[in-house]
Every structure is written in C-alpha cells, then in structure tokens.
Amino acid sequence: MPRKRAAVATVPSTRAKKRQRTSVAEAKEDFLVSEKELKDLLQEPEFGGLEALLTEEKARYKGAAHWAPEEERLFECLFLRQELGMLPSYWLVDFRGLVVPDSLFTSSEKRPPIIASMSGKEFHASTALMRLIDLTAEVRTLVQSNKRDKVPYTIKKTIQQYITWASKDGGYQHLDYVPNLIVANINADEDADKVVNELQWRMYTLARLQRAFLRVGDNKSLWTKEMRPSPRKTRGQCLVEDFMRESRLKSDDSPASSKTKTPSKADADADSDNKPTSTTKTKDSTKASKQTPKTPSPTRARSDPQDTNDTYRRRPPVVYGLFILRTSVMLLSIDSSKPEPAQVSYHVDINLLEYQQSMWNGITIALAVCIARHELVQHLADFKPAPALDDGDPDA
C-alpha cells in the first residue's frame, strides 16, 4: 500500500555532518541517553512542566518503586519520546515524506541519538526503521483485505527483521549471545488470566536463562550442535526456544500450566479469526498512556533453587518482551537479577491499527530493540564466536 505523502518542514540546505567516533568504547556509549541528559532536558525552559508530569506519571505506576535503572530509563524515554532527539540529525532527509516532528532529529554531540547505526551503515539503519514504520499500514491493509490470519505472522516477521539488523549492526550476529529480548505471538483467544500467566511465564523464563548464563561455576554450555541458525532464526533464538521448551516440561506448576499451549503458528492464525479487541487510544502521541498501566500481579512460579544462593559474573540484565496479541504489541520488562516471582512491568500497548500512529509505533518498537542492543554490545566479551556453518556439498 503506497504511503501517503504529507507536507513537512523545510529541510535545511546544508546536510548535517555525521558524528565521528574515536574509539569502539566511545561508540558503545553513544547510544543511550544518560540520567543526567534527561534531567538537563527537563530543566530547559521550553520544556517547563514536563518534570512534574513525569513525576506524576511515575507515581501513578504502582510498580515504579521496584524498577531497575534500565526500566526507569525506558519509561522516561517513552514518556519524552517527542522531546528527545531519537534519530540522527542527518536522517531528516530520509524521512522527508512523513509528518515527523523536528525534535526527533535534534541529536548532537552532547545528546547522541538512541536509534542509530553503531557500524556507520546509515542506509541500512534508516531502511530498517522505515520497515517498522510501514508495519502499521501493512497491518491495516491485511485487516481490510480480510487476511487477519496473516497479521500476527507479519508483525513478528517485521520485528524480527529489525532485531536481525540490530544484531548485525551491533557486531554480535556471529556470536553465541544470550538474547535479552523476546518476540512471541500470544493466543489472545484464551481468557485474561491465562494470557497474563503466559506473558509472565515467558518473561520469568527469559530472566532465568540470563541467570543460568551468568552464574558463577556453571560451565555447562547452553548451546548444542543441533541449534542451527537459518535466515529467519539465529542461534540465540534457537537457544531461547529450546530453553523455554525444556522449562515448560519441567515446570508443572508454573504460571503457564499444561492448559496454556506454547504459542505456535496455528495459535497465531486462530488469534486473527476474531475481531481484534480495542486498545486504549492515546490522545497525545508524545507521551505514554494517560491511564495507569496495569502491571500483572506477580504469580508465584517455580524458581531456580540455585537463584537465591548463587553469585554471578556480573549483574543479570533487564530483559524485554514484545508480545503480539492480534493487531497489538505489548512491551514488557523484568529485572532478571531479582528472584522469582519478580515484578513484570507493562510499559505500553502498541496498536497497529492506529494509522495516525505509524511513526510512533515504529519508533517505540525500535527504541526497545536499540536499548536491548546497547546492553548486549557492552558485554561482547562475554560471548564466544558461534561455530561456522557447514553449507554441505554444493553439488548435492
């Protein structure tokens, strides 16, 4: 479906120069807004009142007091996403066909962009983001064409393509890394309690995988030779799927009981047969939902008995989840350094049927992926090179 062109502000005649980085270490630190930068932004005169609004919004979130610093930073970035310079200033020309606020391109030496290329391959980075922005129009086209069964698959495929770009751009594509972000289709036909339990169980299991990888004295390899990547699936994704499959078999009394099936393509197809449930509309696209997000109340799960006593090589990170329910994507997070049942935080519901929100839908998904990428890039030394693929006999 062709994207409708709209009038935009006049583009400066002189193209902004790309920032030159002097070292790999500097490149790794460039792509996350610091707490000081956020405070400085809130204190600027033109943004008067935002700090009070942010404080009020945090107070309305029941679980805010238990957030890890990374979770609080994500919440602040979502709340301030129209005021923050999310994108490189020299990307403005690439997005001239969209109605985009100029503030998105106000990154500078002092405030580097959050969504940007670490490898310097700007075209690949902007193209990957554009695919996410176009996802809203693609979902609406499928729904209007009575092809709802394809919607969850299309959403997951597009998000996964962006995650694949992030792994290439971050330099860990060919490493045996442990993912800190999961994308999954959830069967929305189940009742609300089962859906919440399934979301919690997946987040708990991903957090448990991080602790297993970082546990001191546990030298057992998490990877097997059978974990063969494909164009649609990395070894990291294979690792997560295998770990969750084993955990589901072991956890008879986990939040996701035997009655809750592992999401599959068949489940995703079934999800799209019914009319999508309506989601909360955001009057102002620059801020998170004005309604207090409902954090799923922690359900006691069978935790790893070693979690409470073991030590780790470093603090287990915050992990993120992008869960697809029909035409919506939910962004969740959990601090994997905390034992179960830890709090699973709900941040935002991305409604891909809102045609006026296509830009912000794409930006929100990209923000979560880039924050997860930043954490992985900081710890590249923890990951070993993945085994070379055996392409087999080309003449066979």
pLDDT digits (tens, 9 = 90+) for 149-163: 999 999 999 999 999
pTM: 0.76
Mean pLDDT of 325-329: 95
Average the pLDDT over each of 44-48, 130-134, 157-161, 163-167 and give the range with the smallest value. Answer: 44-48
In this structure, is residue 390 part of a structural domain? no
pLDDT digits (tens, 9 = 90+) for 260-280: 444 444 343 333 333 444 333
In this structure, is residue 220 part of a structural domain? yes
Split at pLDDT 50, 70, 90, the class of 104 is: confident
Going across the sheet that includes 181-185, the strands are: 181-185, 318-325, 328-335, 345-351
pLDDT, position 20: 42
In this structure, is residue 4 part of a structural domain? no
In this structure, is residue 363 part of a structural domain? yes
Provide the residue range defining the domain that includes 342.
25-382
Which residue did the predictor score with more confidence, 291 or 340?
A: 340
The total of structural domains in the chain comes to 1
Residue with tokens 């409470």: 308
What do you get for the CA distance between the two ends of the chain, in Å? 41
Q: Quick check: 183 pLDDT over 50?
A: yes
In this structure, is residue 239 part of a structural domain? yes
Q: Write out the DSSP string of 31-72.
A: TS--HHHHHHHHHSGGGTTHHHHHHHHHHHSTTGGG--HHHH
In this structure, is residue 388 part of a structural domain? no
Q: Quick check: 2 pLDDT over 80?
A: no
Classify residue 291 as exposed, middle or buried by CB count within 10 Å of its CB (0-12, 13-18, 19+): exposed
Residue 201 contacts residue 243 (beta carbons within 8 Å)? no
In this structure, is residue 322 part of a structural domain? yes
Residue 67 contacts residue 75 (beta carbons within 8 Å)? yes
Which range, 33-37, 112-116, 276-280, is most confident?
A: 112-116
Listed residue (363, 361, 348) closest to 87, CA to CA: 363
In this structure, is residue 19 part of a structural domain? no
pLDDT, position 45: 52
Average the pLDDT over each of 32-46, 93-107, 178-192 and give the range with the smallest value. Answer: 32-46
pLDDT, position 307: 54
Neighbour tally for 272: CB within 10 Å: 23
